[in-house]
C-alpha cells in the first residue's frame, strides 16, 4: 500500500461534566486526528493522550511527526511498519495507535471491505456500557437512571477512593434503579489487597459482573492474590498494555479478564496480537477506551467483531463529549453500529475537526 501523505491535527473537546476517577479528574478530552492518503483514498485514526501510557498531546505530535518521515512516499505493509515503529518509538503507544487505525481504515477502503472483514470477523451490534465517574450517591443514582432510560444495558461504576462509600453507591443503584442491569466496577488501582478482598466479599450479594484493576499497577502478586481469592472475576486494565503483558498475565493466572485498549496496545495490529494470546489461553476480554473520539472507538468495535473472546465493550467516551467530529457510529437499542461501508464505517466531519483544532506545536 503506497502512502502519499500523512496529516495530523490536534483537537480539544470539552466533556459535558468533569470526569473523576481514582487517579484524577478531567474536563477536556484532547486527541490527535490522523489522516493518511494513498491510492486515491483517505483513512482516519486518532490518538488520545493518557496517563496509562504516559503520553501527552505534545509527545504524540512529536512521535507522529517522526512517523510521517518514515511513511510518506513508501509502499508499506501495516504489520511490518508497526513492528518497525514499536522498536523505534517504544514509548509512543497511543501515537502509533492513531497511525495504525488510519492505515487500517485506508487499507479496508482500498480493498472495498469493512475493517472486521480483513480479519474474517462477523458483523454485530456491540453492547456498550456507560461509565459513571466518582460522584456522590444521589448523583450516581440519577445518572444510572438516565443511562438506563437511554437504553444502556450495562453500567460501569468508577470506585476506588472510599471503600464503604463505594459499596453504598453500588447498593443504591441495585436498590433504587434496577435489580437486574449488568453492573461492572472499576477501581483504577485504588485499593490494597486487603481492601480489595474486603470489597469483593461485600459486593458478592450485588451481582457484580467483574471488578477492574483493584490493585496498583506493578503489584502483580497482589493482583494474582485478589484474582485467585475473589468470587467476582477480576479484570486487568492498567496492568496490561500489550500482547507481552497479556502473555505474562495469562501464563501466571494473574487475572480472569483483560481490558484491551487500542491506545495502550498501539492500535488494531497490537489488539489482534493480544486477541491471539487470549484465544490460546481461553481468556476473555473487554475492549475499552480512554478519552477518545469516534475513529478509535469504531476501530475497537471492529476488533470486537473479530473474536468471540471479546465479550464486553466499554466504548462510551464519545457520549461524554459536548460534540462529535464524526457521523455514522450509531447507538440503537443498547448497541453500537458502524455503517455498512468500506473502512471503519464512519464519516469524519472535517469542518468539525477544524472547529476544535488546537494551536500546538510538537514537543
Ligand atoms: Mg479501567
Whether 360 is in a domain gets the answer no
Whether 306 is in a domain gets the answer yes
CATH number at residue 32: 3.30.390.10
Same domain as 323, residue 246:
yes
Tens-place pLDDT, residues 189-214: 999 999 999 999 999 999 999 999 99
Give the structural domain span for 269.
118-348
Same domain as 149, residue 94:
no
Whether 246 is in a domain gets the answer yes
Same domain as 290, residue 194:
yes
Same domain as 177, residue 291:
yes
Whether 362 is in a domain gets the answer no
- Measured CA to CA, the distance from residue 25 to residue 135 in angstroms comes to 11
Instruction: Provide the pLDDT for residue 185.
Output: 98
Same domain as 151, residue 64:
no
Strand order of the sheet with strand 335-337? 126-127, 335-337, 330-332
- What is the per-residue burial (b if ≥16 Cβ within 10 Å, else e) of 108-147? bbbeeebbbbbbebeeebbbbbbbbbbbeeeebbebbeeb
Dihedral (CA of 91, 258, 247, 282) sign = negative
Same domain as 85, residue 10:
yes
Whether 361 is in a domain gets the answer no
| CA of 221 relative to ligand 1 center, distance in Å | 19
- Measured CA to CA, the distance from residue 78 to residue 330 in angstroms comes to 28
Whether 363 is in a domain gets the answer no
User: 340, 235, 344: which is closest to 287 by C-alpha?
Assistant: 235
- Measured CA to CA, the distance from residue 72 to residue 105 in angstroms comes to 17
Same domain as 151, residue 25:
no
Instruction: Provide the pLDDT for residue 359.
Output: 86
Whether 203 is in a domain gets the answer yes
Same domain as 82, residue 135:
no
CATH number at residue 343: 3.20.20.120
In the predicted structure, residue 98 carries a pLDDT above the cut 70: yes
| CA of 238 relative to ligand 1 center, distance in Å | 7
Same domain as 263, residue 181:
yes
In the predicted structure, residue 238 carries a pLDDT above the cut 90: yes
| CA of 91 relative to ligand 1 center, distance in Å | 20
| CA of 235 relative to ligand 1 center, distance in Å | 9
Which grid cell sits at 135? 460522584
Q: 3-state SS string over 274-317?
A: HHHHHHHHCCEEEEECCCCCHHHHHHHHHHHCCCCCEEEECCCH
| CA of 216 relative to ligand 1 center, distance in Å | 12
Same domain as 124, residue 73:
no
| CA of 230 relative to ligand 1 center, distance in Å | 18
Residues 273-279 have a mean pLDDT of 98
| CA of 298 relative to ligand 1 center, distance in Å | 19
How many domains is the chain partitioned into structurally?
A: 2
| CA of 64 relative to ligand 1 center, distance in Å | 26
Same domain as 106, residue 196:
no
Q: What is the CA radius of gyration of the chain?
A: 20
Sequence-separated (6 or more) residues with CB below 8 Å from residue 58? 360, 361, 362, 363
Instruction: Provide the pLDDT for residue 360.
Output: 79
**Active site (catalytic) residues:** 158, 261
Mean pLDDT of the chain: 97
Residues 258-274 have a mean pLDDT of 98
Tens-place pLDDT, residues 77-91: 999 999 999 999 999
In the predicted structure, residue 362 carries a pLDDT above the cut 90: no
Whether 108 is in a domain gets the answer yes
8, 46, 97, 257, 262 from 94: Cα distances, Å: 13, 9, 5, 22, 7
Q: What percent of the chain has pLDDT over 70?
A: 99
63, 95, 169 from 90: Cα distances, Å: 10, 10, 40
Same domain as 69, residue 42:
yes
| CA of 258 relative to ligand 1 center, distance in Å | 10
Which grid cell sits at 333? 437499542
Amino acid at each position: 500500500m503506497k502512502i502519499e501523505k500523512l496529516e495530523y491535527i490536534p483537537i480539544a473537546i470539552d466533556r459535558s461534566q468533569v470526569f473523576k476517577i481514582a487517579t484524577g479528574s478531567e474536563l477536556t478530552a484532547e486527541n490527535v486526528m490522523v489522516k493518511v492518503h494513498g491510492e486515491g483514498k483517505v483513512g482516519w485514526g486518532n490518538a488520545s493522550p493518557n496517563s496509562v501510557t504516559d503520553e501527552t498531546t505534545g509527545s504524540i505530535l512529536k512521535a507522529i511527526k517522526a512517523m510521517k518521515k518514515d511513511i510518506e512516499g513508501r509502499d508499506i505493509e501495516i504489520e511490518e511498519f508497526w513492528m518497525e515503529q514499536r522498536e523505534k518509538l517504544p514509548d509512543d503507544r497511543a501515537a502509533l495507535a492513531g497511525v495504525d487505525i488510519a492505515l487500517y481504515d485506508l487499507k479496508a477502503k482500498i480493498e472495498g471491505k469493512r475493517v472486521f472483514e480483513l480479519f474474517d470477523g462477523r458483523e454485530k451490534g456491540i453492547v456498550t456500557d456507560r461509565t459513571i465517574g466518582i460522584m456522590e450517591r444521589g448523583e450516581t443514582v440519577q445518572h444510572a437512571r438516565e443511562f438506563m432510560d437511554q437504553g444502556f444495558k450495562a453500567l460501569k461504576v468508577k470506585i476506588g477512593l472510599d471503600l464503604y462509600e463505594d459499596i453504598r453507591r453500588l447498593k443504591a443503584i441495585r436498590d433504587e434503579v434496577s435489580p437486574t442491569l449488568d453492573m461492572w466496577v472499576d477501581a483504577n488501582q485504588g485499593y490494597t489487597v486487603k481492601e480489595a478482598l474486603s470489597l469483593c466479599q461485600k459486593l458478592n450479594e450485588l451481582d457484580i459482573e467483574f471488578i477492574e484493576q483493584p490493585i496498583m499497577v506493578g503489584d502483580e502478586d497482589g493482583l494474582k492474590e485478589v484474582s485467585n481469592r475473589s468470587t467476582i472475576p477480576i479484570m486487568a486494565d492498567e496492568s496490561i498494555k500489550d500482547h507481552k503483558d497479556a502473555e505474562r498475565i495469562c501464563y501466571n493466572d494473574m487475572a480472569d479478564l483483560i481490558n484491551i485498549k487500542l491506545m495502550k496496545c498501539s492500535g488494531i495490529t497490537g489488539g489482534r496480537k493480544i486477541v491471539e494470546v487470549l484465544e490460546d489461553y481461553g481468556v476473555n476480554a473487554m475492549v475499552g477506551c480512554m478519552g477518545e473520539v469516534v475513529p478509535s472507538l469504531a476501530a475497537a468495535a471492529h476488533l470486537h467483531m473479530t473474536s468471540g473472546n471479546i465479550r464486553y465493550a466499554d466504548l462510551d467516551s464519545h457520549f461524554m463529549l459536548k460534540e462529535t467530529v464524526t457521523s455514522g457510529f450509531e447507538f440503537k437499542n443498547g448497541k453500537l453500529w458502524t455503517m455498512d461501508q468500506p473502512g471503519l464505517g464512519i464519516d469524519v466531519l472535517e469542518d468539525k475537526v477544524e472547529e476544535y483544532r488546537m494551536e500546538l506545536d510538537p514537543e
